[in-house]
Structures are given as C-alpha cells and as structure tokens.
Amino acid sequence: MKKALIVWGGWDGHQPQQVATIFAEILKEHQFQVEVSNTLDAFADGASLKQLDLIVPVWTMGEIPQEYVQNVSEAVQNGTGLAGCHGGMCDSFRNNVDWQFMTGGQWVAHPGNDGVKYSVEIKQSSSPLIQGIENFTVESEQYYLHVDPAVEVLATTRFPVADGPHRFNKAVDMPVVWTKRWGHGRVYYNSLGHQANIVELPDVKELMTRGLLWAAEGKAIAETD
C-alpha cells in the first residue's frame, strides 16, 4: 500500500483543510495509506519522509524552517513524489527560493482578482496525464506565475484577460499545469484551486487525481533504477 502525507495550513482564505480533505479522499479511493497533518513539524523527520510515496503540501504563505525544506527536498530527490495545487504548493513560502526551485514556480499575481472567466488550454501530447481532457473554462482567479523553464507544461492560459499594467506587453501563454523532476522524484503542479469548489470541478479534479497518482508512482520506479 502506498503511503502519502498531506500537510495543510497557512492562509485560511484558500480553505486548506477542505482542499486537504478532497485530496485525502482521492488517495484513499486509490488505496493509499494517508496521514493528514496541520503542522509543518510533519516535515521534521527526514528519514520518515523518505519512506513515503507522496507528499502533498496544502500550505499558503507562511515561513518554513530551512531544515524542513531540506528534508522534503532530499525525500523527493530519493524518489518520493511531490504534488499540489495553487497556493498550497507554489505560493507556500515566498521567501524560500529552495522551495520554489524544487516546485517549479511561484505565484506573483491574479489580475482581476476572483471571478475572471478564462480558458485553460490543454497542451496535447503523449502524456497520459492529459489524454482525453479537452480545453475548458473556469471562473476564478487567473494566475500569473514565475515559472522554471525546465518544467514540462501540460496546460496554459492566455494573458491578458483582465485589465492591468501587464496588458501593454504582448499576449503570453502562462503555464497552468506542469511536471518536473527533482532528483529521482516526480513533481506535479496545477495552479487551479483557489478554493475547494474549484478543486471539485470535474476537469480540475481529474487533472489533480492523475497528477497525485503519477507523482506517487515515481518512488517504485526510482527504486528499480
């Protein structure tokens, strides 16, 4: 049985407990043994993290001890998967560049705030993570991120939609969903998920389910290499 750790907390506006519950239910449906914690001290035991198949951070902003970041990083490098959504993973610790390097990006803005209607464009490829999923529209916050150029982009959204100083630049396709490798570990991120109701949208939930399972499969593969 695969083992997963979900750690939730930080800013309450992103409904971290509710989002963590959704992820826990998904993983339990797929026969995972799931531990859910609301303290960053769950990252204190580096040896235990290396025994996991998957780590799911659901933590917006805040600060994290550097030792904890190192523990998570070493676990992922060892093959443990890392997967998350929106602020729960790529707006977690704004002052920690090591966390941002590992996760592949950092949120910087949502022009127009909540209620922007925009399209999520699937980057059709051979990846099983997006097979059968069509472009879809969401009404939420649209996220502008600073993104690691090494990531494999699986979905994008076109800026600008909402007005703002950024509109004087050329149009850009901003990554929404991506994967990357960190050592032997698989990293998956989906910027959608401002609150639990967005995570529950069928397309978003399907993308997250696939991403969680994909990231968790890397541990067994790494151990055979």
Q: Domain total for the chain?
A: 1
Q: What share of the chain is helix, strand, coil (3-state, %, to 5)?
A: 35, 30, 35
What CATH number has the domain bearing residue 176? 3.40.50.880
Contact in structure between 25 and 48 (CB atoms under 8 Å): no
The verdict on pTM exceeding 0.75 is: yes
Q: How far apart are CA 219 and CA 203, in angstroms?
A: 26
What's residue 225's pLDDT? 67
Containing structural domain, residue 184: 3-224
What is the per-residue pLDDT across 141-196, written as a single tens digit (0 to 9) for each? Answer: 999 999 999 999 999 999 999 999 999 999 999 999 999 999 999 999 999 999 99
What CA–CA distance (Å, rounded) separates 132 from 165?
Answer: 36
Rounded to 5 degrees, what are φ and ψ at 187? -120, 130
Using alpha carbons, select from 67, 41, 206, 63 the residue that is nearest to residue 128. Answer: 206
Work out the number of other CB atoms within 10 angstroms of the CB of residue 95. 10
Cα of 120 vs its chain's centroid, Å:
16
What is the rounded average pLDDT of the residues 11-28? Answer: 97
Question: Could you report the per-residue pLDDT of 70-127, keeping only the tens digit for each?
Answer: 999 999 999 999 999 998 999 999 999 999 999 999 999 999 999 999 999 999 877 8
Give SS3 for 223.
helix
The tokens 């472009």 sit on which residue?
A: 135
